[in-house]
Amino acid sequence: MVFCQSSTLLVLLLLPLWILLAPALAHAQESPYFVAYDHYLEEPGSLEIEYFSTVGTQRAGNNFHAFSTEFEYGAAAWWTTEFYLEGQTTFHDSTVFTGWRWENRLRPLKREHFINPILYLEYENKSGADKILKEVEGHDVESDFLSPNAAARKEHDHEIELKLILSSTVKGWNFTENTIAAKNLSNNPWEFVYVLGASRPLSLKASASRCNFCREHFIAGVEMYGGLGDRHNFGLHDTSHYLAPVIAWNLPSDWTLRFSPGFGLNDDSHRLLFRWGVSREFSGFGEMVSRLFGGRR
Amino acid sequence: MKHCLATLAAPLLAFGTSSARLQSSDSPSSKSVNNRTALYGELANAPGKARERRNPFENDPEAVAAGRNLFEQHCAQCHAEVQEAPPGAIFWILTNGVVRRGMPVWSKLPEPQRWQLVSYIKSLSVPVANESLPLQRECGVTAQSSLLR
Cβ atoms of B137 and A284 within 8 Å: the answer is: yes
A164 pLDDT above the threshold of 70: yes
Q: Which residues contact B16 (CB under 8 A, 6 or more apart)?
A: none
- ipTM for the predicted complex comes to 0.85
CA distances from A277 to A32, A243, A247, B110 (A): 10, 18, 11, 23
| CA gap A200, B66 in Å, rounded | 19
- Mean pLDDT (whole number) for A161-182: 97
CA distances from B36 to A196, A220, B103, B146 (A): 38, 36, 10, 14
CA A232 to chain centre: 28
H-assigned helices in chain A: 2-21, 149-152, 285-292
Residue A246 phi, psi (nearest 5): -135, 150
Looking at residue A15, its pLDDT comes to: 54
Count of beta carbons in the 10 Å neighbourhood of residue A232: 8
B29 pLDDT above the threshold of 70: no
Q: Which helix (H) or strand (E) holds A51?
A: strand A47-56
Q: At what angle do helices B87-96 and B111-123 cross, to 10 degrees?
A: 130
pLDDT band at A167 (very low <50, low <70, confident <90, very high): very high
The tens digit of pLDDT for each residue in A15-52 reads 554 544 444 344 557 899 999 999 999 999 999 999 99
Q: Which residue has the higher pLDDT, B82 or A152?
A: A152
Q: Which residue has the higher pLDDT, A159 or A286?
A: A159
B98 pLDDT above the threshold of 50: yes
Contact B47/A at CB under 8 A: no
- Chain B positions touching A4 (Cβ under 8 A) are 1, 3-4, 7
The tens digit of pLDDT for each residue in B50-66 reads 999 999 999 899 999 99
Closest-approach residue (CA) in chain B for A252: B73
pLDDT band at A253 (very low <50, low <70, confident <90, very high): confident
- Mean pLDDT (whole number) for A191-204: 97
Closest-approach residue (CA) in chain A for B101: A77
Looking at residue A43, its pLDDT comes to: 92
Q: Which residue has the higher pLDDT, A210 or B2?
A: A210
B125 pLDDT above the threshold of 80: no
Looking at residue B82, its pLDDT comes to: 75
| CA gap A150, A156 in Å, rounded | 13
* Interface touch B18/A22, C-beta < 8 Å: yes
Handedness of CA B82, B88, B94, B100 (dihedral sign): negative
Looking at residue B32, its pLDDT comes to: 61
B130 pLDDT above the threshold of 70: no
- Mean pLDDT (whole number) for A141-155: 96
The SS3 of residue B36 is: helix
| CA gap A92, A32 in Å, rounded | 32
Residue A268 phi, psi (nearest 5): -90, 0
Cβ atoms of A157 and A196 within 8 Å: the answer is: no
Cβ atoms of A289 and A279 within 8 Å: the answer is: no
Q: Mean pLDDT for chain A?
A: 90
A103 pLDDT above the threshold of 50: yes
Looking at residue B20, its pLDDT comes to: 38
For the ranges A98-107, B38-47, B84-93, the one whose mean pLDDT is highest = A98-107
Q: Kindly give the pairing relationship between strand A255-264 and strand A191-201.
A: unpaired
- Mean pLDDT (whole number) for A207-213: 91
- Mean pLDDT (whole number) for A144-158: 95
Q: Any idea which of A114-128, A208-222, A241-255, B79-93 has the lowest mean pLDDT?
A: B79-93
CA distances from A108 to A129, A162, A175, B34, B41 (A): 35, 15, 19, 23, 22
Task: Kindly report the nearest CA distance between residue B84 and chain A, in angstroms.
Answer: 22
The SS3 of residue B89 is: helix
The SS3 of residue A201 is: strand
Contact B3/A at CB under 8 A: yes
Looking at residue B124, its pLDDT comes to: 86
Residue to mutate among A9, A110, A126, A211, with most B CBs inside 10 A, is: A110
Q: Kindly give the pairing relationship between strand A218-230 and strand A79-90.
A: unpaired
Q: Find the angle CA(A175)-CA(A166)-CA(A120) to the nearest 5 degrees.
A: 130
Residue A74 phi, psi (nearest 5): -85, 95
| CA gap A159, A238 in Å, rounded | 21
Looking at residue B43, its pLDDT comes to: 87
pLDDT band at A8 (very low <50, low <70, confident <90, very high): low
Q: Which residue has the higher pLDDT, B78 or B1?
A: B78
* Interface touch B104/A74, C-beta < 8 Å: yes
* Interface touch A4/B11, C-beta < 8 Å: no
* Interface touch A208/B32, C-beta < 8 Å: no
Q: Any idea which of A180-184, A273-277, B81-85 has the lowest mean pLDDT?
A: B81-85
pLDDT band at B1 (very low <50, low <70, confident <90, very high): very low
